Amino acid sequence: MELQANASLAELTSLGIGGTTDLLGIKRHEAIPELLRLLDFHGLPHSFLGGGSNLLVRDGELPWVVLQLVSAQPEVVLEGNLAHVDAAADLGRTVTYCAKHDLGGMEGLIGVPGTVGGALRMNAGAYGMQIGAYVREVKLYRAAGRRLETLCRDQISFEYRHTSFAPDDMMLAVTLELPSKPYKEILQGIRICNEKRRSSQPLGQKSAGCIFKNPPGASAGRMIDELGLKRLRVGDAQVSDRHANFFVNTGRATAKDMLALVADVRERVQKAFDVILECEVVVWNA
């Protein structure tokens, strides 16, 4: 373990929002069951942090410690069409590495920030694909059994931005089975997705990606846009003027600002469309 006392979650999240707490970097998976047993024994609550790119953390001193995996080296080991990937590996780097070895399928995920473990836990997806489609096996710490386990594909269900993992399960490693494709062809797909993303999303600003899930058959971004809410703000938290489902931190936004903006937009959408938008970002607000 590596202990960083008084770590700032604002510095560890793409939104740049969040209070401080002790951060424990985990170097060996095998140490996790004992670590969690000790935390329990001492009555210390905890949360797992991935890449911090889909997370809104409350302000102030957090009443729990944060655990984060320190990435193993090498992050990716290839074996034919299988990619064995450490959960702490950067998602974009993993997609690129596999592409260079003629393994495709994940082109749509290229611009999605975060770790492979984070993408896996919420079945991240874009441009018609979701990571779950390529999962063959997952190594994880299961809080229920308090031990490390390996689950095969048919023991896990992957749905739109949702998986059957328990909230306190911790992703450790995944084996992906990827289709063979020439690098040049994958690169072409990557370029197209990058271009679409650049033209529609506020990439240069601090955000957590889309703040709400799309309700069945509809687009949260389009509904918010139709209500003319682009640029609506609470403090430095603002609805992006580029994509209305991205809420950005334009300066020194607090979690309080961002949550007030979320509540305001949700209420207006409910009034206008009779739809209750569900958060897509994970909120740590205990």
Residue 213 makes contact with ligand EPU by CB under 6 A = yes
- Of the pair 200, 250, the CB lying nearest ligand EPU is at 200
DSSP string computed for the chain: -EEEEEEEGGGTSTT----EEEEEEE--GGGHHHHHHHHHHTT--EEEESSSSSEEE-SSB-SSEEEEEPPPSSSEEEETTEEEEETTSBHHHHHHHHHHTTB-S-GGGTT--SBHHHHHHTT-EETTEEGGGGEEEEEEEETTTTEEEEEEGGGS-EETTEESS-TT-EEEEEEEE--B--HHHHHHHHHHHHHHHHHHS-TTSB--SBSBPPPTTS-HHHHHHHTT-TT-EETTEEE-SS-TTBEEE-SS--HHHHHHHHHHHHHHHHHHHS--PPB-SEEE--
- Of the pair 27, 198, the CB lying nearest ligand EPU is at 198
Residue 58 makes contact with ligand EPU by CB under 6 A = no
Of 35, 65, 127, 235, the one binding ligand EPU (CB under 6 A) is 127
Of 135, 237, 244, 261, the one binding ligand EPU (CB under 6 A) is 244
Residue 200 makes contact with ligand EPU by CB under 6 A = yes
In the complex, what is the shortest distance from the CB of residue 4 to ligand EPU, in angstroms, rounded to a whole number? 27
In the complex, what is the shortest distance from the CB of residue 209 to ligand EPU, in angstroms, rounded to a whole number? 3
- Of the pair 32, 208, the CB lying nearest ligand EPU is at 208
Site size with ligand EPU, rule: CB under 6 A: 16
**Catalytic residue list contains 210:** yes
Residue 132 makes contact with ligand EPU by CB under 6 A = no
Q: List the catalytic residue out of 136, 142, 153, 161.
A: 161
- Of the pair 81, 219, the CB lying nearest ligand EPU is at 219
In the complex, what is the shortest distance from the CB of residue 6 to ligand EPU, in angstroms, rounded to a whole number? 30
Interacting residue ranges for ligand EPU, rule: CB under 6 A: 126-127, 200, 209-210, 213-214, 219-222, 225, 243-245, 280
